[in-house]
Amino acid sequence: MYRSLMDRQRSFFRTNKTKEIAFRLNALKSLQSAVKQYENQLIAALKEDLNKSEFEAYSTEIGVVLEEIRFTLKHLRSWAKPRRVKTPLTHIGSKSYLYSEPYGTALIIAPWNYPFQLAAAPLIGAIAAGNCAVIKPSELTPKTSEVLARLIKEHFPEEYISVVLGGVEASEALLQEKSDYIFFTGSPAVGRIIMEAAAKNLTPVTLELGGKSPCIVHEDADIKLAAKRIAWGKYTNAGQTCIAPDYLYLHTSIRDSFLAAFKEAAADLFGLNPLENPSFTRIVSEKHFLRLQSLMGDGEIFLGGGTDKKRRVIEPTVLTNITWKDSIMQDEIFGPILPVLEYTNLDEVIEGIHHHPNPLSLYLFTSTPAVQEQVLNSISFGGGCINDTVYHFASPHLPFGGVGSSGIGAYHGKGSFDTFSHHKGVLKQTNLFDIPFRYPNAKNGLKRIKMFLK
Ligand code: NAD
């Protein structure tokens, strides 16, 4: 179904045009001006799809993409240069280089929760590295996906960058065709399907997946600040953020003071009656709304609990008296419900997390460096913050990605350029002389080789 599109992209890639640095820089500048031109349409579409406020639409989608383009434009020339690396004594006379080359056509499959940002940010990496790209945005946010398709169509020829609209069937049809790189953001379950499809052609993949991201609040945390930063990270986009704190591990000794501060922080940020807050993001679909509603029966409701089915809004909610056995602890929540587990000893926390798949993110609130090191040394997770939530995502100097079932590979900043590039190792040999002992007929060849290779 998409054979001809992929073939046209392959032919265009073979012209070598996309590899020219000037071409890549121009494409990034076009994308930059297109995003600026479409800013209002994107904000309106995000409002229609998810009721995102203008503040959230700009700060978590449009602004993040513009900043990523600006950073890439600034550094691309130096990233793209062949890099000289060391040469060992055994290779005397030669020089060694790493050449970054694009893969060809990159297939980018995106989810609905940040429907613009999670489609556009990988595209920046694909362009920077010199690839062509086909983007398949989410069918659950149709307005934003349509604006993205128009924006791309207006500024780029199809044989270079193209958007394919549609649902699972469109994704499946695209996966039937050979692409040279697959960049997928979505659930671990679909991630497995993507990897299986990629395996048929041995196509390399980046899988940006999800999972349950813990947030640990230790006894010596700055309670007020922790409460504010956690409430913000959890309830932004109504908790529909892959790196949102999924659940809290709260030290029993600060339970009451922390929960009181958290209640205050949530009210400050999202209002005393969030169901009436016109800018609180809605749940993407009825299916997800019903799934989340069914999780509210676990434990005790400490905060929130209110829902509006017609508008698909769920209040910022906190559930206490939760254990790992509760249904809310079985899968990623992906909504504004925060279950609270309590602990007295950090070892319980480490044990508890160890018994579950590697988190995409982990957040730890503590003032003690030794506690920070203990957690960093004993738990494997994609990335995270000490004394904050979510913020690591927006740094171009920190490659973002998961580990184990939360993902494979990473991107952002130079990480994106590296992800979409193959780094070709090249040795340039001298013709001025020829070291004889590698040849089988060299006198004392083996003896000399043993001097070097030991
Ligand atoms: P999803 O896996 O259902 O869908 C993602 C994309 O895959 C969509 O474009 C969809 O059309 C396509 N798709 C769905 N089923 C498919 C199939 N069987 N074959 C081929 N393609 C298929 O994910 P979602 O519901 O859109 O997003 C939520 C998930 O994404 C959560 O698990 C979340 O943690 C994760 N996520 C991860 C990140 C990250 O950066 N790591 C970011 C956002 C979301």
CATH number of the domain that residue 66 is part of: 3.40.605.10
Residue with tokens 């993040």, as numbered in its chain = 64
Q: Note every long-range contact of 47-51, with CB atoms under 8 Å and residues 24 or more positions apart, other chains counting.
A: 48/143, 49/112, 49/115, 49/140, 49/141, 49/142, 49/143, 49/144, 49/284, 50/112, 50/115, 50/141, 50/237, 50/240, 50/281, 50/282, 50/284, 51/279, 51/280, 51/281, 51/282, 51/311, 51/313
The CA 148 to ligand 1 mean position distance, Å, reads 17
Q: What is the pLDDT of residue 351?
A: 96
- Pocket mutation for ligand 1, best pick of 2, 148, 185 (most atoms within 8 Å of C-beta): 185
The CA 405 to ligand 1 mean position distance, Å, reads 14
Q: What is the pLDDT of residue 449?
A: 86
Q: Are residues 86 and 43 in the same domain?
A: yes
Q: Are residues 134 and 236 in the same domain?
A: no
Name the token pair of 107.
């297939």
Q: Are residues 190 and 247 in the same domain?
A: no
Name the token pair of 7.
């073939």
**How many domains would you assign to the chain?**
2
Q: Are residues 250 and 139 in the same domain?
A: no
Read off the CATH number of the domain in which 352 is found: 3.40.309.10
Whether 242 sits among the annotated catalytic residues: the reply is yes
Q: Are residues 178 and 223 in the same domain?
A: no
Among 401, 417, 447, the domain boundary falls at: 401
Q: What's the predicted TM-score (pTM) here?
A: 0.96
Q: Are residues 188 and 237 in the same domain?
A: no
Q: How many residues does the chain have?
A: 454
116: three-class secondary structure by DSSP:
coil
In a domain, residue 444? The reply is: no
Give the active site residue among 61, 208, 219, 315: 208
**Burial category of 305 from C-beta neighbours within 10 Å (exposed 0-12, middle 13-18, buried 19 and up):** middle
Verify whether ligand 1 is closer than 6 Å to residue 219 (CB atom). Answer: no
In a domain, residue 452? The reply is: no
In a domain, residue 288? The reply is: yes
- φ/ψ (deg, to 5) at 45: -65, -40
In a domain, residue 385? The reply is: yes
Q: Are residues 162 and 245 in the same domain?
A: no
Q: Are residues 199 and 252 in the same domain?
A: no
Return d(Cα 107, Cα 364) in angstroms, integer: 35
Q: Are residues 342 and 288 in the same domain?
A: yes
In a domain, residue 102? The reply is: yes
Q: What is the pLDDT of residue 444?
A: 87
**Burial category of 275 from C-beta neighbours within 10 Å (exposed 0-12, middle 13-18, buried 19 and up):** middle
Name the token pair of 181.
């790189």
**Residues of the chain where predicted confidence (pLDDT) is lower than 70:** none
In a domain, residue 50? The reply is: yes
210: three-class secondary structure by DSSP:
coil
Q: Which atom of ligand 1 is nearest to the CA of 139?
A: 11
Q: Are residues 257 and 371 in the same domain?
A: yes
In a domain, residue 454? The reply is: no
Q: Are residues 179 and 78 in the same domain?
A: yes
In a domain, residue 124? The reply is: yes
**Burial category of 36 from C-beta neighbours within 10 Å (exposed 0-12, middle 13-18, buried 19 and up):** exposed
Q: Which atom of ligand 1 is nearest to the CA of 360?
A: 41
Give the active site residue among 132, 215, 242, 385: 242
Q: Are residues 87 and 109 in the same domain?
A: yes
Nearest to 57 by CA among 96, 12, 115: 115
Verify whether ligand 1 is closer than 6 Å to residue 61 (CB atom). Answer: no
Name the token pair of 94.
């030669």
CA atoms within 13 A on the CB side of 294: 9
CA atoms within 13 A on the CB side of 369: 0
Return d(Cα 124, Cα 412) in angstroms, integer: 9
Residues 6 or more apart whose Cβ sits within 8 Å of residue 308? 275, 314
What phi-psi label fits residue 403: left (phi over 0), alpha (psi between -120 and 50 degrees) or beta? beta
- Alpha helical stretches, state H, 85-208: 117-129, 142-155, 168-176, 188-201
Buried b (16+ CB within 10 A) or exposed e, 120-150: bbbbbbbbbbbbbbbbbbbebbbbbbbbbbe
The CA 145 to ligand 1 mean position distance, Å, reads 14
Verify whether ligand 1 is closer than 6 Å to residue 360 (CB atom). Answer: yes
Q: Which tens digits make up the pLDDT trace of 101-158? A: 999 999 999 999 999 999 999 999 999 999 999 999 999 999 999 999 999 999 999 9
Whether 208 sits among the annotated catalytic residues: the reply is yes
**Which domain covers residue 357, as residue numbers?**
214-401
Return d(Cα 410, Cα 44) in angstroms, integer: 30
Buried b (16+ CB within 10 A) or exposed e, 88-115: eeeeeeeeeeeebebbbbbbbbbbbbbb
Q: What is the pLDDT of residue 166?
A: 97
What is the residue with the minimal CA distance to atom 42 of ligand 1? 242
